[in-house]
Chains A and B, each alone.
Chain A
């Protein structure tokens, strides 16, 4: 782990320590587990977002993708599909939505911020048009995958941790994982090293979509109904977590671990606010402040050294 991840982990530790001293109730098993389970889908999305930002792109349509997958999965489940079939369907639907972004960004060379802004709104409003804001009622067997609540929560957490560990492993230990770093660091050098930047960029977006689908399923099993607006604002949370966790917006630097720690930090803020008697309305402002602060740390970071040829030539 790099210094940045350690620094964020340090801030998190301080926050947890303050909570432990001022509000020990925060650490009670059931509420804490519920908090973590609620954040588990976002963790899955943060993993995907890490890859997208590593590749020096951005995807702000993930909240909408999440909503669309949630509703579609919910409707299928309500029509009697077994959960075992709903999961791959949601993942595939997400993959398809992400692939559309990927094709537009990598294939046509369009800027990802505008492309995903457009798909974000198209998907969200399309969903609203179809769904009219109606909730989808789910059959009982869907909730917690048909398990009791506690084992259900554990299984959601287990999936999230598996995705985290899996993506960390893939990014670190497979050539394909390193290619995301290479393309984000310098696409031209990547081309010279025999990597195809377009393909890698496409894969980042498609993978992001698939993870949105998975996250959607992890979310709908937590309640008896599917909210069609469940995904609104998730893009910001995922991006904030990743940026706070030290993944450089200029690409090529960072890890999913950083994103995970960043997310934990952000997730603890509302609880911390409640426990420390600060009004919860400050959450969004604090989130924005944290993003700016995380940006500001990039100012202090030493830039790549440019050793002037002239200086060294004096032998």
Chain B
């Protein structure tokens, strides 16, 4: 190792409240390599990236960029050090053209500078050609698709002369052809001596592209390996790691009645097509898949946020039309969304109001608020779900993440639903609250609810589900029995066998 690394992390730690996201992670990136970063959702990858871009200040450890050691970076020092990150959600100006977006990012500061439109366009064209983009430099960013916007981000990173390029699941929204092109760009960057941190869930890509692989698990580094020294099954084992313990509540036999049946449902707007499955009352149906595989989108279709434009949804045998969340609510379908801070709870409102918000038609049948009844119901749920709060009057925003999540769940239990969809219910929740939520979910199923559980946490989905549906590319790729092995689920999720066959 004669060449000094471009970027090195030494023993980085970072906690968010009770959640220890990084617990002494070390990592180094050499010039001219593609270094893959692997791990389940929640393993600490995004936190590590945010430390590198200066968005997070680590609690401990050091970051070495070139010759200099830093306790923390800021966005501007990170940029000055040649670190560029391509996020999944690009931060571009939607109303401006591609050329201008690149210009604002790359041209020197100084308000009184003349804009060289010709030069800007020439440069943009050159950069776009470099990344193989097929759209015009004069296109407005709002008219570009997400992968196209991502290409603009990549072009900006290349244009800024970044030596350290971080790519966060860059292929999750790309077609095969776009992927190939991206790989070409990555290889070219590498051959030019840059270092690329490459994050992906697609193991075959890593075999194809990466020089080294670092696997994170539960905020720790499991190890760094040469990419050709580990095969996908070994990587899956490294990622999943721990044995499934008896942490999860035991499955219970489900009743015979069908709770919800989905027949060929789809919605072109969100890219979900031809999904069919049935969930019995009392059953927990897990939905596994990569981020962007269409699980949340399917939930949005079932809840009427993006009404289905194909197929049929049947509740207890009866076909229903769900055109809006209000309709879903009427039919007893409840959805606890993934983003609880924006959608799941209204942070400014007291806990009690949050709990009664969706069930107001049942709790206040004539529309008159009833403070005593509201308080009684709130206290009942606070006790039943063990929500830790200063009281029913405390604003939901003052609660910890796990307790906010419980408030969001309570809101939908108050509705007394027949179908409960939970989207990443334990994301960002500490271990203790997680176990409580697991117990709660099982209890709910036992009372006769049909539960659809979306989770990216592999052990959770395996431990909790009676059956596991695996989604890939907006379709249901298959249904596995409960207790399937982690590698079986991972394999189905990644679809690598199929892809290899196709390639």
Which residues of B have CB within 8 Å of A313? 172-174, 290, 292-293, 472-474
User: Contacts of A176 on B, CB cut-off 8 Å?
Assistant: 111-112
Interfacial chain A residues near B107, Cβ < 8 Å: 175
Residues of A close to B174: CB separation below 8 A? 312-313, 315
Q: CB distance B271 to A178 under 8 Å?
A: no
Contact with A along B260-299 (1 / 0, CB 8 A): 0000000001111000000000000000001111100100
Picked from B94, B110, B145, the residue with its CB within 8 Å of the CB of A175 is B110
**Contact: B272 with A310, CB < 8 Å?**
yes
Residue B364 is within 8 A (CB to CB) of chain A in the complex: no
Q: Does B100 contact A (CB under 8 A)?
A: yes
**Does residue A124 face the partner (Cβ distance < 8 Å to B)?**
no
Q: What are 21 A-B interface contacts by the 8 Å CB criterion?
A: A173-B114, A173-B117, A175-B115, A178-B103, A182-B93, A192-B91, A252-B96, A302-B143, A303-B142, A304-B142, A305-B143, A308-B294, A309-B172, A310-B272, A310-B297, A312-B146, A312-B178, A313-B173, A313-B474, A315-B175, A315-B499
Within 8 Å of chain A (Cβ to Cβ): is B179? yes
Number of residues on chain A facing chain B (CB within 8 A) = 38
A277 to chain B, nearest CB (A): 42
Residue of A nearest to B271 (CB): A311
Q: Please, which residues of chain A bring their CB within 8 A of the CB of B416?
A: none
Count the A-B residue pairs with Cβ separation under 8 angstroms: how many? 129
B475 pairs with A175, CB closer than 8 A: no
- Does A129 have its Cβ within 8 Å of any Cβ on chain B? no
Kindly list chain B residues whose C-beta atoms are within 8 Å of the C-beta of A173.
114-115, 117
Whether B92 is near chain A, meaning CB under 8 Å from some CB there, is yes
A173-B115, A314-B472 are known; give 15 further A-B pairs, CB within 8 A.
A172-B115, A174-B112, A178-B104, A178-B115, A189-B92, A190-B93, A194-B76, A251-B95, A306-B146, A308-B146, A308-B474, A309-B172, A311-B474, A312-B178, A315-B179
A308-B95 contact in complex given A313-B173, A315-B473, C-beta closer than 8 Å: no
Annotate B171-204 by CB proximity to A: 1 below 8 A, 0 otherwise: 0111110110000000000000000000000000
Tell me which residues across on chain A come within 8 A of B100, comparing CB atoms. Answer: 178, 181
Collect the chain B residues with CB atoms within 8 Å of residue A182's CB: 93, 96, 104
Let me know if B146 and A310 touch, CB within 8 A.
no
What is the CA–CA distance of A310 and B292 in the complex, to the nearest angstrom? 5
**Complex Cα gap A299–B374 (Å):** 40
Does B146 contact A309, Cβ atoms closer than 8 Å? yes
Closest CB of chain B to A51's CB: distance in Å?
Answer: 14
Residues in chain A near residue B172, CB distance under 8 A: 309, 313
Q: When each residue 74-115 of chain B gets 1 if its CB lies under 8 Å from chain A and 0 otherwise, what string results?
A: 011000000000001001111110001001110101111111
Nearest CB of chain A from residue B151's CB, rounded to whole Å: 12
Across the interface, A252 reaches (CB within 8 A) one of B95, B110, B176, B292, namely B95
CB-nearest residue of chain B relative to A250? Answer: B95
Complex Cα gap A179–B110 (Å):
10
Whether A312 lies near B143 (C-beta < 8 A) is no
Please name all residues of chain B whose beta carbon is closer than 8 Å to the beta carbon of A188 when the two chains form the complex: 91
Interface presence of A193 (CB below 8 A): yes
Residues of B within 8 A of A194 (CB): 76, 109
Residues on B with C-beta less than 8 A from A314 are: 175, 472-475
CA distance A96 to B134 in the complex (A): 49
From B93, B95, B147, B294, A307 is in contact (CB under 8 Å) with B147
- Least Cβ–Cβ distance between A247 and chain B, in angstroms: 11
A248 within 8 A of B: yes
**B369 interface residue (CB < 8 Å to A):** no
Given contacts A182-B104, A186-B94, contact A307 B145 (CB under 8 A): yes
**Assembly CA distance A313 to B115 (angstroms):** 38
Q: Which among A305, A310, A311 has the greatest number of chain B C-beta atoms within 10 A?
A: A310
| Residues in chain B near residue A237, CB distance under 8 A | none
Summarize B's interface: helix, strand, loop or mixed: loop
Q: A174-B113, A189-B92, A312-B175 are known contacts. Are A195 and B104 too (CB-CB below 8 A)?
A: yes
Q: Smallest CB-CB separation from B293: which chain A residue? A: A310
Please, how many angstroms separate the alpha-carbon atoms of A303 and B94 in the complex?
Answer: 10
Chain A residues with CB under 8 A of B270: 308, 310-311
B interface bracket (residues with beta carbon within 8 Å of A): 35 or more
Closest to B148 in A: A307
B226 at the interface (CB under 8 A from A): no
Q: Which residues of B contact A253 (CB under 8 A)?
A: 95
Contacting pair B96 A185 (CB below 8 A):
yes
Contact yes or no, A309 B96, CB < 8 A: no
Residues from chain B with Cβ under 8 Å of A177 in the complex: 115
Q: Which residues of A contact B144 (CB under 8 A)?
A: 305
Inside 8 A of B95's CB, which chain A residues have their CB? 181, 184-185, 248, 251-253
Cα A192 to Cα B156 with chains together (Å): 13
CA distance A174 to B103 in the complex (A): 12
Shortest CB distance A5–B (Å): 15
Q: Whole-angstrom distance from the CB of A196 to the nearest CB of chain B? A: 10
Provide the bound-state CA to CA distance between A307 and B151, in Å: 14
Chain B residues closer than 8 Å to A307, beta-carbon distance: 145-147, 173
Check A310/B474 contact, CB under 8 A, given A174-B112, A174-B115, A189-B91: yes
> Is the CB–CB distance between B474 and A181 below 8 Å?
no
B474 touches A175 (CB 8 A): no
Query: Closest residue of chain B to A301, judged by CB?
Result: B142
Q: Write the nearest CB–CB distance from A139 to chain B, whole angstroms.
A: 39
Q: Which residues of B contact A189 (CB under 8 A)?
A: 91-93
* Contact present for A185 and B94 (CB under 8 Å): yes
0/1 string, A145-166, CB within 8 A of B gives 1: 0000000000000000000000
Q: Which one, B109, B115, B147, contacts A312 given CB within 8 A?
A: B147
B94 with A312: CB separation less than 8 A? no
Most buried by B among A248, A252, A302, A307: A307
Nearest A residue to B475, CB-CB: A314
Is A310 within 8 A of B92, CB to CB? no
In chain A, what residue has the closest Cβ to B172? Answer: A309
Least Cβ–Cβ distance between A37 and chain B, in angstroms: 33
- A279 CA to B143 CA in the complex, in Å? 44
A305 and B93 in contact, given A172-B115, A193-B105, A310-B293 (Cβ under 8 angstroms):
no
Minimum CB–CB distance for B44 against chain A, Å: 22
By Cβ-Cβ distance, the 5 closest A-B pairs, closest first, are: A311-B271, A314-B473, A309-B292, A252-B95, A315-B176
